[in-house]
Amino acid sequence: MIKTRGLTHIAIAVKDPDRSFRFYQKLLGVKEYYRDKNSIQAQDPGSHDVIAFERDTKLAGKPGGIAHFGFRLQSPKDINAVAKEAKKAGGKVLRTGEFAPGFPFAYISDPDGYEIEIWFE
């Protein structure tokens, strides 16, 4: 077994890296730290993991075996703002609920159609 620091980033194919970055910036507060003509890399404000938005109009929004990716809330009370913030940022709510009492979740889609789980545990 090799020792790692865990999953550090995900790269997703998008139609428009600027549009995708703005969506995640508005929804989750990601911060840009690298850019070139076909990609933007952004860190999340919590653990500083990375989302790379890579221009690829042919693959954008196609899951390719990835069902969804998730972000863990700091407080279960924050789930109430997810739908509102997702819509304001340009996404849509797919479904909401609780895995168990006190463990809420919301699945939303981003502008390219990727499914994102926002949840508390």
H or E stretch at 87 = helix 79-89
103-120 pLDDT, tens digit per residue, is 999 999 999 999 999 989
Query: Mean pLDDT across the stretch 84-90?
Result: 94
Query: Mean pLDDT across the stretch 1-23?
Result: 86
pTM of the predicted protein model: 0.86
CA distance 67 to 53: 17
CA distance 49 to 86: 20
Architecture of domain 9-119: Roll (3.10)
